Structure 1
């Protein structure tokens, strides 16, 4: 029996090493796939949180401009609200296109008027 084992042992070791290698490759590829999915999920959540913050700041900017500059025209209020929102977003480290800031402020105005 020992003689048979001595003859088969190199083949068994080779098969065992190959199986371990295949399993390691499968596990690593699954981890890479999982890493991509987790990164996409985190990016989507971060983006969602940033969107919520942009809209919150836009609402604050509208309220600020409405209170501080209520005797001025709509264009001036929008400009002041834009300046406020831009400054607050810079402090938060969020880079947003000017059109997005203006549209978020306009949405805040529409939401306020709809609620009134």
Structure 2
């Protein structure tokens, strides 16, 4: 048995959850915050059999898209002089971790 941690953008979370549930995966949804942009995201926890891991990852990948976003940035132009200008960064997609489960009980 495996435990999948799938971290996706809040923009994609509903689509990912619906697709996983439709494929009969049981998921737990957690509201989390990312470190790079301090933006909200969603982490899904999904326990599944070893042979179904690739299917779950495929579903998450299909429903979590990468996109670009403009974010403010600061650049220094000398002593004490700063100018803010937007920088385009890539956001979205998914970060997925798969771990072994030593013991599972549903009470």
TM-score (norm: length of structure 1): 0.28
Q: Computing the radius of gyration over CA atoms, which structure comes out larger, 1 or 2?
A: 1
TM-score (norm: length of structure 2): 0.30
Q: Which has the higher helix share?
A: 1
